[in-house]
């Protein structure tokens, strides 16, 4: 007869073959007892597989008990982007409990109680009158797209029709309100329904708002929607003289060019920096066979060449390829690791991995001396992909370690 100590030892090792061996030894029990023990073992084994140390460390610092993601560096503010990213990470981790809480908090506080009926407000926090509420009710396309994706895939993987319907409704609203057809360019995703179309011939575009894996996913689900055309226009949206992604571009009948951001966002010259770093990340973690990815990689040759001669990514860079300022924070190094690996740049990839590991805090499990919120998000995407916790197929569907 197998003892509980033996079962525990086999469980910690966690291989399928050892679990089968335990099931064989359990035949000495009555059939109902043996079946119950196998179910318990399988459940525990699945929990063990879903553990993700960086996600757990992140939730300890940035996610409260109600499912609100908190950026401590910005006055304890919460953004729809943070909620959307966390939903994706919870799905990758197989963390259904936290996923449910993230959705409910977002639904109740950013979408007036109905995510299926309206896109979430961009930010929530402490107002000047001391109340805690939505600070900016306008939606943000990148958060909306990631949230719709996480909900749709949660619906598929966890067999939840509620999440599936919620994500489908969100995606339809993004397509209707945040995807526009620009003459001479094609379909682009603008950052939000309002404030990014200052005149009849100009649209502001943030290239980091259009991850190719997500565009491919919705193109497969909704062939009549704008997604396939948005994927086709992505290389043109990314193109710059220096081969670096920009934070902001303007699109119009004359084409796409690097630009200053919309009014209200401070910048002296057009540049690629904290927004644009995600472009390299999204390209790196996408399946290379996804439409537009290889062409878009070619457009980013400036960053690839820069990292051949420099230790770290630039914190900001002009459209002509001139680096501004000093070395970027640790999250930038994390973000370019999949980009470098996909292109076979092993030496350059190792440099960034070494930096990432050298700046990991053994006590908190987070990265960087300040453990900044944005750095951890970039690191979760990058290291989750490197550790094969998730992969996108060519049509954008998730393949997860626990599934």
Tens-place pLDDT, residues 192-227: 998 899 998 999 999 999 999 999 999 999 999 999
Give the integer Cα–Cα distance in Å for 340 and 214: 21
Where residue 16 falls among pLDDT bands split at 50, 70, 90?
A: very low
Q: CB within 8 A of 104, min separation 6: which ones? A: 67
Q: Is the pLDDT of residue 273 over 80?
A: yes
CA 238 from chain centre, in angstroms, equals 19
Q: Count other C-beta atoms under 10 Å from residue 165's C-beta.
A: 14
State whether 335 and 400 are in the same domain.
yes
Helices and strands, counts by H and E, the chain: 16, 13
Indicate if 141 and 223 belong to the same structural domain: no
Is 285 found in the same domain as 267?
yes
Residues 19 and 59 in one domain: no
135 and 241 in one domain? no
Q: What does the mean pLDDT of the chain come to? A: 89
264 — pLDDT class (breaks 50, 70, 90)? confident
Identified catalytic residue from 142, 144, 153, 247: 142
Domain tally, the chain: 3
Domain match, 362 and 301 both: yes
Q: Are residues 245 and 354 in the same domain?
A: yes
Q: Give the SS3 label for residue 241.
A: coil
Q: Which residues contact 169 (CB under 8 A, 6 or more apart)?
A: 115, 116, 117
Q: Which long-range contacts (CB under 8 A, 24 or more apart) does 341-345 make?
A: 341/284, 341/386, 342/283, 342/284, 342/288, 342/297, 343/297, 343/304, 345/304, 345/307, 345/308
113 Cα distance to chain centroid: 24
Q: Is 81 a catalytic residue?
A: yes
The sign of the dihedral angle between the CA atoms of 4, 10, 16, 20 is: negative
The 10s digit of each residue's pLDDT in 99-158 is 999 999 999 999 999 999 999 999 999 999 999 999 999 999 999 999 999 999 999 999
Output the pLDDT for position 25: 43
Both 134 and 217 in one domain: the answer is no
Is pLDDT above 50 for 81? yes
CA angle 237-239-243, nearest 5°? 140
32 and 107 both lie in a single domain: no
**Domain end position, chosen among 50, 70, 86:** 50
How many Å from the N-terminal Cα to the C-terminal Cα in the chain? 31
What residue numbers bound the domain in which 148 lies?
52-177
More confident residue, 43 or 116: 116
Q: What is the pTM of this model?
A: 0.88
User: What CATH number is given to the structural domain containing 209?
Assistant: 1.50.10.10
The residue from 50, 67, 84 where one domain ends is: 50
Work out the burial of residue 95: count CB atoms within 10 Å of its CB; fewer than 13 is exposed, 13-18 middle, 19 or more buried.
Answer: buried
User: Which pairs count as long-range contacts for 121-128, CB under 8 Å and 24+ apart, including other chains?
Assistant: 121/80, 122/79, 122/80, 122/81, 122/192, 123/77, 123/78, 123/79, 123/80, 124/68, 124/77, 124/78, 124/79, 125/74, 125/75, 125/76, 125/77, 125/78, 126/75, 126/76
* 142 is annotated as an active-site residue: yes
Among residues 71, 81, 291, 315, the one annotated as catalytic is 81
Mean pLDDT of 62-86: 97
Same domain for 229 and 185, yes or no, is yes
Is the domain of 93 the same as that of 219? no
Same domain, 144 and 24: no
């Amino acid at each position: 007869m197998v003892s509980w100590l033996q079962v525990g030892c086999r469980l910690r090792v966690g291989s399928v073959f050892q679990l089968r061996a335990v099931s064989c030894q359990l035949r000495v029990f009555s059939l109902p007892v043996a079946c119950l023990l196998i179910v318990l073992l399988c459940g525990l084994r699945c929990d063990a597989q879903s553990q993700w140390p960086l996600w757990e460390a992140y939730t300890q610092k940035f996610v409260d008990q109600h499912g609100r993601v908190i950026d401590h560096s910005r006055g304890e503010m919460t953004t729809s982007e943070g909620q959307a990213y966390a939903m994706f990470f919870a799905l990758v981790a197989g963390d259904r409990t936290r996923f449910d809480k993230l959705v409910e908090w977002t639904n109740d506080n950013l979408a007036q109680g109905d995510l299926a009926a309206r896109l979430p407000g961009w930010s929530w926090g402490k107002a000047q009158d001391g109340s805690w509420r939505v600070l900016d009710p306008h939606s943000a396309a990148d958060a909306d797209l990631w949230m719709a994706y996480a909900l749709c895939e949660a619906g598929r993987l966890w067999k939840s029709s509620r999440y599936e319907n919620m994500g489908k409704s969100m995606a339809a609203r993004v397509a209707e309100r945040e995807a526009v057809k620009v003459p001479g360019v094609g379909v682009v995703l603008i950052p939000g329904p309002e404030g990014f179309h200052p005149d009849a011939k100009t649209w502001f575009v943030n290239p980091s708002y259009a991850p190719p894996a997500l565009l491919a996913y919705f193109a497969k689900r909704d062939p009549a929607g704008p997604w396939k055309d948005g994927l086709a226009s992505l290389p043109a949206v990314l193109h710059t003289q220096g081969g670096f992604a920009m934070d902001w571009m303007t699109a119009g009948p004359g084409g796409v060019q690097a630009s200053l951001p919309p009014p209200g966002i401070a910048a002296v010259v057009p540049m690629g920096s904290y927004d644009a770093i995600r472009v390299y990340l999204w390209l790196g973690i996408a399946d290379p066979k996804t439409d537009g990815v290889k062409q878009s990689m070619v457009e980013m040759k400036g960053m690839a060449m820069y990292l051949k001669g420099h230790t770290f990514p630039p914190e900001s860079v002009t459209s002509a390829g001139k680096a501004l300022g000093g070395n970027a924070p640790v999250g930038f190094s994390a973000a370019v690791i999949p980009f470098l690996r996909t292109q076979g740049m092993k030496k350059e990839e190792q440099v960034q991995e070494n930096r990432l590991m050298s700046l990991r805090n053994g006590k908190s499990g987070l990265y960087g001396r300040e453990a900044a919120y944005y750095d951890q998000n970039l690191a979760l995407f990058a290291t989750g992909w490197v550790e094969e916790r998730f992969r996108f197929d060519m049509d954008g569907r998730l393949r997860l370690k626990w599934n």
